[in-house]
Amino acid sequence: MPELPEVETVVRGLRDPLIGRVIHGVWSDWTKAIRYPDPAAFEARIAGQKVCAISRRAKYILCHLDHDILVVHLKMTGRLYVAADDELHDSDRWVHVRFQLDEGRQLRFSDSRKFGFVSLVNTIEEIAPHLGPEPLSDAFTVAEFAARLARHHKSIKALLLDQAFLAGVGNIYADESLHMAMIHPLRAADSLTADETARLHHAIRVVLENGIEREGASVNWYRKPDGTAGSAQNHFAVYDRSGQACLTCGSPIEKSRVAQRGTHYCPTCQPLTG
């Protein structure tokens, strides 16, 4: 599933071709792709609205319209891109929602697994009321992070994946952050020392910022709106490197399951202590 860096890259890639465009209509062949309101009400409500701005909250893409917010969640295989009416793309075979824009262009939502969705809301809280803080925001301080950690005894990897605890971090960047901070993914969150908390706070921000700079990790389905790949996958320290040598110490990277997710770590750099 695309995480914060991938979603942020999509947002930035959509701004130039989409901001200022007017949505004239909506086509869909998969009713569950339009989560709220119902498809008929969705089409009637969005028609005639202009895209004024595009932003991100957690893993959600927010297209700010004249009166509403068009929310898109890519889930596992979603792609969002703008194309001319007669322009053909490989991803078109999985397009399940298409927004007709002015000037002969379309915003297309392609999703082969059909887990993604679009919604039309006044605020993101209508469909995601319990999102945690944004890890790259000024409000996400070490002190705030420490206070939140102290309230949880679950494993730190599982907690980082909890969107109510911290918004936007997923499996890839949790593994990478924990390795950079030298913390085992099974450590209890409330067992982290002040130094470990500060290291992890710093690592989360660095790993996410690097992911954005590299325009996301193109593993599996993720591509930028222009169809090209990001390069973050070329710089992984542990994720998807099971059995390979740790870039820090040379020990083999191990893989286990934490919170039902494949988890990669270095047993030497990230000992299970504390």
Which sequence positions are flagged as catalytic? Answer: 2-3, 59, 261
Closest by CA to 192, choosing from 161, 153, 135, 137, is 153
For the chain, how far is it from start to end, CA to CA, in angstroms?
Answer: 31
CB atoms within 10 A of CB 97: 24
The C-alpha atoms of residue 84 and residue 66 are separated, in whole angstroms, by 23
CA 226 to chain centre: 18
Residues 6+ apart with CB under 8 A from 239: 171, 172, 175, 176, 264
For the record, the structure tokens of 98 come out as 């298409």
The pairing of strands 34-36 and 117-121 is: parallel
- The radius of gyration of the chain from alpha carbons, rounded to an integer in Å, stands at 20
Look at residue 101 and give its three-state secondary structure: strand
Short-list 265, 249, 72, CA closest to 156:
265
Alpha helices in 122-239 (DSSP H): 142-149, 156-161, 171-181, 194-213
CA gap 38, 31 in Å, rounded: 8
**Sheet with strand 95-101: strands edge to edge:** 23-28, 95-101, 105-111, 78-84
CA–CA separation, 135 vs 167, rounded Å?
A: 7
